[in-house]
Structure 1
Amino acid sequence: MRVAPAGAPVPARRLLPWALLAAVLMGLTLTRTVDHDESQYVAATVLAAHGLMPYRDFAYLQGPLQPLLFAPIAWAAGAWTWPALRLVNALLGALTIALVHRAARRLGAAPRAAAAAAGLMLCCDILLFSIGVARNDALPAALFAAALVVMTRLRGGAATRGSALLTGLLLGAAAAAKVSYALPAIAYGVWALAAPRRHRPLWLILGAVPPALLVAWCWWTAPEGFLFGVFHFPADAPAEYYAGYPWKLSLAAKLVDSLKFLALGPALVALAFVIGRGRMRALAPLLFACAVAALAPQPTWRQYWLPFLPPLFIALALAWHRRPPGRNWRIAFGITAAAGLAPSVAALVTANGMSLAEAMRTSAAIRATMDRAGVTGPVSTLSPQFLPATGRLPDADFATGPFYFRSRNLLDPGAERRLHLISHARPHVSAHWVLVGGETRRTSGNPDLDRMLAHAAGGPRTPVPGTGFQLVRVEQPPSRTR
Structure 2
Amino acid sequence: MGETIKTRWLLLALGLLFLAVALSAPVNHDESQYVAAIALMREGLPYRDWAYLQTPLQPLLLSPLSLLPAGWLLVGARLANVAFALVASWALLRLLKGRTPFWAAAVAVGGMATTNAFLFGTEVARNDMLPVALLSLALLVFMPRQGLDWRRAALGGLCLGLAISAKISLALPAAAIGLWLLWRSREIGWQVIAAAALGGIAGLLPCLILYALAPEPFVFGVFTYSLEAPQQFWTLVGMPQVLTPLVKLRELGIETVEGATLAALLVWLLTLRQGGPERRLLDAAILGGLLAAYLPDPFFRQYLIPLLPPLFARAALSLPALTHRWRQVAIGAGAITAGVGASGSVGNVVLAAQHPLELMETVQRARIVAAMTKGRMVATLSPEQVAGNDVRLDPRFAAGPFLFRTTGNLGQATRRITGAAIWEEAEARTLALPPFVVTGGEGKPRPPAFPYGVEAPLSRQVISRYYKSIRLPGEGWFLWIARTEKGWAEAPPLNCPPENRQPICLKLTYQRE
User: Do these two structures clear the TM 0.5 threshold for a shared fold by scoring above it?
Assistant: yes
AA of the residue aligned to 1:247: Q
SS at match of 2:259: coil
1:440-479 to structure 2, matched below 5 A, reads 440=443, 448-457=453-462, 458-467=465-474, 468-474=476-482, 475=489, 476-479=491-494
Report what 1:334 is aligned to. Answer: 335
Select between 72-81 and 447-456 the one with higher mean Cα deviation: 72-81
Report what 1:364 is aligned to. Answer: 367
Percentage of identical aligned residues: 32
In structure 2, which of residues 16, 34, 42 is the aligned counterpart of residue 23 of structure 1?
16
AA of the residue aligned to 1:254: K
CA contact (8 A) 1:237 1:410 kept: no
SS at match of 1:426: helix
Q: CA deviation at 1:78?
A: 6.3
Report what 1:295 is aligned to. Answer: 294
1:151-162 to structure 2, matched below 5 A, reads 151-155=142-146, 158-162=147-151
1:228-239 to structure 2, matched below 5 A, reads 228-239=220-231
Select between 419-428 and 17-26 the one with higher mean Cα deviation: 17-26
CA contact (8 A) 1:26 1:91 kept: no
For residues 11 and 257 of structure 1, the distance between their equivalents in structure 2, rounded to whole angstroms, comes to 39
For residues 393 and 437 of structure 2, the distance between their equivalents in structure 1, rounded to whole angstroms, comes to 10
For residues 390 and 190 of structure 1, the distance between their equivalents in structure 2, rounded to whole angstroms, comes to 44
Q: CA deviation at 1:463?
A: 1.9
CA contact (8 A) 2:21 2:348 kept: no
For residues 46 and 187 of structure 1, the distance between their equivalents in structure 2, rounded to whole angstroms, comes to 34
Q: CA deviation at 1:477?
A: 2.0
Q: CA deviation at 1:415?
A: 5.2
Report what 2:511 is aligned to. Answer: none
AA of the residue aligned to 2:131: P
For residues 420 and 407 of structure 1, the distance between their equivalents in structure 2, rounded to whole angstroms, comes to 13
Q: 1:39 to 1:98 in 2, by over 3 A?
A: same
Does residue 1:242 correspond to 2:234, yes or no?
A: yes
In structure 2, which of residues 237, 251, 256 is the aligned counterpart of residue 257 of structure 1?
251
Q: CA deviation at 1:235?
A: 0.6
For residues 300 and 432 of structure 1, the distance between their equivalents in structure 2, rounded to whole angstroms, comes to 39
1:9-88 to structure 2, matched below 5 A, reads 14-48=7-41, 50-75=42-67, 80-88=72-80
Residues 207-256 of structure 1: per-residue CA shift (max 9 Å, x gap): 11222222111111111100010001011011101112121111111011
Q: 1:277 to 1:97 in 2, by over 3 A?
A: same
In structure 2, which of residues 126, 131, 155 is the aligned counterpart of residue 166 of structure 1?
155
For residues 436 and 384 of structure 2, the distance between their equivalents in structure 1, rounded to whole angstroms, comes to 16
Report what 1:110 is aligned to. Answer: 101
CA contact (8 A) 1:238 1:299 kept: yes
Does residue 1:275 correspond to 2:269, yes or no?
A: yes
In structure 1, which of residues 437, 447, 464 is the aligned counterpart of residue 440 of structure 2?
437
AA of the residue aligned to 2:26: T
Q: 1:51 to 1:67 in 2, by over 3 A?
A: same
RMSD: 2.5
AA of the residue aligned to 1:345: V
CA contact (8 A) 1:436 1:469 kept: yes
Alignment coverage as a number of residue pairs: 464
Report what 2:304 is aligned to. Answer: 305
Residues 403-435 of structure 1: per-residue CA shift (max 9 Å, x gap): 111121253547514412111112223422211
Q: 1:411 to 1:465 in 2, by over 3 A?
A: closer
Report what 2:387 is aligned to. Answer: 388
For residues 163 and 393 of structure 2, the distance between their equivalents in structure 1, rounded to whole angstroms, comes to 27
SS at match of 1:159: coil
AA of the residue aligned to 2:151: G
In structure 1, which of residues 173, 180, 183 is the aligned counterpart of residue 172 of structure 2?
183
1:179-218 to structure 2, matched below 5 A, reads 179-196=168-185, 197-198=187-188, 200-218=192-210
Q: CA deviation at 1:19?
A: 2.9
Select between 176-185 and 12-21 the one with higher mean Cα deviation: 12-21
Q: 1:322 to 1:301 in 2, by over 3 A?
A: same
1:138-149 to structure 2, matched below 5 A, reads 138-149=129-140
Does residue 1:318 correspond to 2:317, yes or no?
A: yes
SS at match of 1:37: helix
Q: 1:330 to 1:19 in 2, by over 3 A?
A: closer
AA of the residue aligned to 1:469: W
Residues 445-468 of structure 1: per-residue CA shift (max 9 Å, x gap): 996222211223333232225443
Runs (5+) with no aligned partner, structure 2: 483-488, 497-504, 506-513
For residues 446 and 112 of structure 1, the distance between their equivalents in structure 2, rounded to whole angstroms, comes to 52
Superposition TM-score, scaled by structure 1 size: 0.90
For residues 31 and 412 of structure 2, the distance between their equivalents in structure 1, rounded to whole angstroms, comes to 26
Residues 368-388 of structure 1: per-residue CA shift (max 9 Å, x gap): 4x15xxx54221100111223
AA of the residue aligned to 1:404: L
Report what 1:480 is aligned to. Answer: 495
Runs (5+) with no aligned partner, structure 1: 5-9
In structure 2, which of residues 77, 86, 102 is the aligned counterpart of residue 94 of structure 1?
86
Q: CA deviation at 1:267?
A: 0.3
Q: CA deviation at 1:305?
A: 0.6
Residues 47-76 of structure 1: per-residue CA shift (max 9 Å, x gap): 01x041000000000001110111012325
For residues 413 and 18 of structure 2, the distance between their equivalents in structure 1, rounded to whole angstroms, comes to 45
For residues 78 and 226 of structure 1, the distance between their equivalents in structure 2, rounded to whole angstroms, comes to 28
Residues 317-345 of structure 1: per-residue CA shift (max 9 Å, x gap): 01112235443333312211111111112
Q: CA deviation at 1:24?
A: 2.6
Q: 1:415 to 1:85 in 2, by over 3 A?
A: closer
SS at match of 2:438: strand
CA contact (8 A) 2:407 2:423 kept: yes
SS at match of 2:51: coil
